[in-house]
Amino acid sequence: MAKRFISSPSESISLKFGEASVELLTDFLVNLNKRNKDNLNSLSQCSGNFKDERLVEYIFLMTKELRLDPLAAYHAAELLQRFMVRHLTDLLTARSPPGAAADPLISLEDALFDRLKEKFPLIIFSCVQLASKLSLHSHIIDNNTAVQFLHSLGHSVSKQTLVESELMVLKGLEFRLNAPNPLTYVEILLEVLAHNEPSISLEHLYHLSHYVLQFISLQRSAIFDALLVTTTQCVSPSREQREKFVTVTEDYMLLGVGVIAVASFILYGREWKQVVGELSHITGISRRSISDFAHVTLMHIVKGSFSLTST
């Protein structure tokens, strides 16, 4: 896997590929594939609801301001999604929240929203802070830094409140924080690709893949809506088709190969077929599926129609 060497958070990151053994890469890939399948087999109705582009952008900007590794941003987004689904489920299945019975005209959902809307920015920050503690490549956000940062955003909180919010998220996640995130899939797939195709220079491909993944994350709804239309060959997909398509929007292995395919097309042009073929061989995902994903993404990048040479 790509190694980062950092002497301070503000310095640039240098990378080395090809240092992991074949056995280690195989174990990583098998494990990620299993976790991806397990996740797809246990999706909830709220899957993806808290990956709204505005939330993701907010997390990206926050981690950039705090000089955290990009991996922390994607990890924080995963923690937020998982925590909020669990938290809302617990609230909705519990008794009505305080204040709901005082006014029968206030619905349960409205009461829950009122309880959460003031806490939500702090919940997001707690996910970022936890992600920073899990990243070996970033400095940890201590509570002094956290209080100052939140104050700069207009949120006045105490250190005790920070600790309570962080503990709430930890308990909500049952202290299971090692959630796979899209960047991990991209990095492992690139490492395997580098081993299988040593002629491909991955330094530029790696950096460009970062930008492509960020673009897709910030254009998530538009890109996957277009991919749904492409897949179903239906301009107005039915509700049932949209519900089934959630397994595609949450498929990180597909996202990983799609990101690398887009980056390789931008860098190598027609030679991208070699990369797509190898990615298909590595993951078992069809060339057609990878090409469709790349085509839709490139259309949004250039903001217009786009043609790919048939693979």
**Which pLDDT band holds residue 52 (cuts at 50, 70, 90)?**
confident
Instruction: Read off the pLDDT of each residue in 231-235 and give the average, rounded to a whole number.
Output: 85
**Is the pLDDT higher at 9 or at 186?**
186
pLDDT for residue 126 is more than 60: yes
Q: How far apart are CA 218 and CA 69, in angstroms?
A: 18
Instruction: Read off the pLDDT of each residue in 130-149 and give the average, rounded to a whole number.
Output: 80
pLDDT for residue 133 is more than 90: no
Percent of the residues in the chain that have a pLDDT greater than 90, as a whole number: 39
pLDDT tens-digit profile of 269-291?
A: 877 888 999 999 999 999 999 99
Q: How far apart are CA 233 and CA 229, in angstroms?
A: 5
pLDDT for residue 137 is more than 60: no
Instruction: Read off the pLDDT of each residue in 162-185 and give the average, rounded to a whole number.
Output: 90
**Is the pLDDT higher at 163 or at 4?**
163
Contact predicate 185/252, CB 8 Å: yes
Contact predicate 259/186, CB 8 Å: yes
Contact predicate 156/27, CB 8 Å: no
pLDDT tens-digit profile of 188-199?
A: 999 999 888 877
Average pLDDT across the chain, whole number:
83
CA distances from 122 to 59, 125, 157, 158 (A): 12, 5, 9, 11
Read off the tokens for 169: 């998220």
Q: How far apart are CA 2 and CA 184, in angstroms?
A: 10
What is the reported pLDDT for 96?
52
What is the reported pLDDT for 124?
93
CB contact set of 77 (below 8 Å; sequence gap of 6+): 51, 55, 56, 59, 127, 181, 217
Q: Name the CA dihedral angle for 214, 220, 222, 225, rounded to a multiple of 10 degrees.
A: 140
**Which pLDDT band holds residue 219 (cuts at 50, 70, 90)?**
very high
Residue ranges and CATH numbers for the domains of the chain are 46-172 (1.10.472.10), 182-302 (no CATH)
Q: Please report how the helices 120-134 and 159-172 are oriented relative to each other, as an axis angle in degrees rounded to 10.
A: 80
Q: Where are the beta strands (DSSP E) in 180-275?
A: none
Q: How far apart are CA 168 and CA 126, in angstroms?
A: 9
Instruction: Read off the pLDDT of each residue in 26-38 and give the average, rounded to a whole number.
Output: 90
Instruction: Read off the pLDDT of each residue in 91-117 and give the average, rounded to a whole number.
Output: 62
Contact predicate 237/228, CB 8 Å: yes
pLDDT for residue 211 is more than 80: yes
Cβ atoms < 10 Å from Cβ of 256: 27
Percent of the residues in the chain that have a pLDDT greater than 70, as a whole number: 84
What is the reported pLDDT for 89?
78
Beta-ladder partners of 16 = 3
Beta-ladder partners of 5 = 14
